[in-house]
Amino acid sequence: MNPTRPTSPATIIDGIALSATLREEVSRRTLALKARGITPGLAVVLVGNNPASEVYVRNKVKACADSGLHSVLERYDADLTEEALLARIDALNRDPNIHGILVQLPVPAHIDANKVIEAISPAKDVDGFHIASAGALMVGQPGFLPCTPYGCMKMLDSIGFDLRGKHAVVIGRSNIVGKPMAMLLLQRSATVTICHSATQDLKALTLQADVVVAAVGKRNVLTADMVKPGAVVIDVGMNRNLEGKLCGDVDYEGVRQVAGFITPVPGGVGPMTITMLLVNTIESAERCA
């Protein structure tokens, strides 16, 4: 038996429970804003009828209602022109009742997603995707943090994990998850390695990691033999297994026998992402108060 191998399975970092705690705080802040005559408002724009987007949008609107925020869902047919979408965003930028604007991605192919993101006022960029928000994160200035990496950091904080000097390996380098995740870990003085599809010998890197964040979108990218005993494993991935059930990038059953902490899918990062969207929207409204 490997003497360093934990004798009990990993502690689960429960994203549903942590979200519930954070959403109580969101509700309190919403009430305080309402007492001052401000109802935090989120506009969610959906173009087309991508089934996954429909679910995400529905969950976001419901989360707003549950926490007392005002939300507007604007739905458009898939043939909406880019010009018309940009005009709508311009109107929402100027709407004083709207503190956060979110355009659900992906948008149809004839619309330039970057143009759409850049059209959102950075002051209302509660998804944290605008180039100004990304730049602020890069140089350590205040700005909206992308919700998924922000939620992952809250999960690490919830277990009191001190990142200083620790080795964090982020698998994935997308603009919305991998790269901002790496920046946030770096801000906390972790030593960060970013892996991607061209990384050679991923296992050699993950085996050195005190923290692994998997944000790939492929099942079983991280298996038990790739994890250092006691490491913290954050699973961002959202995939379907062979039975069609939601699963992450991590071989959960195997890895939880080795890791010290692990986030489940479902019930891990997913709920946290929506919670941080609410937090960003509240923060935006508070800046207007």
Site residues (vs ligand NAP, CB under 6 A):
148, 171-174, 176-178, 195-199, 202, 215-218, 221, 236-239, 269-270, 273
Q: Which residues touch 35 (CB under 8 Å, ≥6 apart)?
A: none
260 exposure class (CB count in 10 Å sphere: 0-12, 13-18, 19+)? buried
**Closest distance to ligand NAP from the beta carbon of 226 (Å):** 11
Look up residue 84 and give its two tokens. 């018309």
Q: Could you tell me the smallest distance in angstroms from the CB atom of residue 76 to ligand NAP?
A: 22
Q: Could you tell me where the beta strands, DSSP code E, fall in 148-187?
A: 167-171
Q: Is the peptide bond before 266 cis (omega within 30 degrees of 0)?
A: yes
C-beta closer to ligand NAP: residue 188 or 218: 218
127 is catalytic: yes
Residues in CB range of 100: below 8 A, 6 or more apart: 40, 41, 42, 43, 124, 125, 126, 277, 280, 281, 284
Compute the CA torsion angle 87, 92, 93, 97 (nearest 10 deg): 160
Return the number of the residue (48 or 172) whose C-beta is nearest ligand NAP. Answer: 172
200 is annotated as an active-site residue:
no
Cα–Cα distance for residue pair 66/8, rounded to 1 Å: 37
Say which of 60, 154, 179, 228 is annotated catalytic. 60
Residue closer to ligand NAP (CB basis): 83 or 243: 243
Between CA 44 and CA 273 the distance in angstroms is 15
Q: Which residue's CB is nearer to ligand NAP, number 202 or number 224?
A: 202
**Nearest distance, CB of residue 273 and ligand NAP, angstroms:** 3
Query: Based on CB atoms, which residue is closest to ligand NAP, 22 or 33?
Result: 22
DSSP line for 107-135: PPTTS-HHHHHHHS-GGG-TT--SHHHHH
Task: Identify which of residues 174 and 191 has a Cβ nearer to ligand NAP in the complex.
Answer: 174
125, 127, 235, 249: which one is catalytic?
Answer: 127
What's the CA gap between 236 and 23, in Å, rounded?
Answer: 20
Q: Minimum CB separation from ligand NAP for residue 162, in Å? A: 24
**Tokens found for residue 226:** 């790739």
Least distance in angstroms from the C-beta of 179 to ligand NAP:
9
Tokens (6 digits) for 215: 């944000």
Amino acid at the residue 146: P
Tell me which residues are annotated as active site: 60, 104, 127
